[in-house]
Amino acid sequence: MKERLYELKRQALEQIGQARDLKALNDVRVAYLGKKGPITEVLRGMGALPPEERPKIGALANEVREAIQQALEAKQAKLEQEEVERKLAAEAIDVTLPGRPVKLGNPHPLTRVIEEIEDLFIGMGYTVAEGPEVETDYYNFEALNLPKGHPARDMQDSFYITEEILLRTHTSPMQARTMEKHRGRGPVKIICPGKVYRRDTDDATHSHQFTQIEGLVVDRNIRMSDLKGTLREFARKLFGEGRDIRFRPSFFPFTEPSVEVDVSCFRCEGQGCGVCKGTGWIEILGAGMVHPNVLEMAGFDSKTYTGFAFGMGPERIAMLKYGIDDIRHFYQNDLRFLRQFLRV
């Protein structure tokens, strides 16, 4: 039996040395160390040996098994290394070749303008308040001094889901919601960006869906002069340090007094051109002092607190800033249009 074990060891080591791949090596492993292999048969036949021979044969069998196992592991490591070297040689990369450029995306012009406006107001101490696009009639209209049947609602005809649920027509509902959360205690200083919806006919200057950014400040002793100073700073940061603004009387149900805000033309420096239609001024947003009814409905004492609000359309600002003549370009995903802003 000793001679048989030595012979098995010799045969196994020889076949291991001849193995050219991992499959052939595994076949050797199974043939010699498997459950039906010859070494296992030797161990099973030890019962027929004299008792004094069994320990010697058992130790020799384990020695042979260990030697074969070590040889298999060494050969496997060698074959795996050879395989890696073959793959590296076959898949070699010439690192001196220039890399293939990866086409990167770019912020949409509207996203760029919205983020620029957000950064500007955050720098002035405002926080960003966002809310649902599907809104209740109460927050979209009634809490903003637009009761049911009010004729001013006609200017904001919307998409109704039920009689009390609609797609919001402005981001003003977030002003009412935020004031309610403050429970009548100031200060409140927020901007509200987001998408809004109105049942409008799409053309070069109108869209049934567009974006809006509104601002709200409520505190003690807030004045019209605070509003004008804020918007002048906004205009100069966005359109250039030489800009000025002017107020024109207007009407909004949720502010009193209300104004339209114009900025001095950044194309002609107020001399008159096609952009400003010869007036030297460009209308950019609406604003006013928060109506006392809006403050009271939100839980604020209108005799103690005052505030101002403003609202603008990023599409209009982007069209003015980048010279875009059709609002529909923003929503058509035309790469010819979007690629113009890669380096803006």
Sign of the C-alpha dihedral, residues 227, 242, 282, 325?
negative
Residue identified by tokens 């098995």 is 8
CA atoms within 13 A on the CB side of 95: 0
80 is in an annotated binding site: no
**Within 91-172, where are the H helices?**
109-122, 137-140
Q: What is the CB neighbour count within 10 angstroms for residue 266? A: 18
Which residues make up each annotated binding site? 256
- Known binding positions for Mg(2+): 256
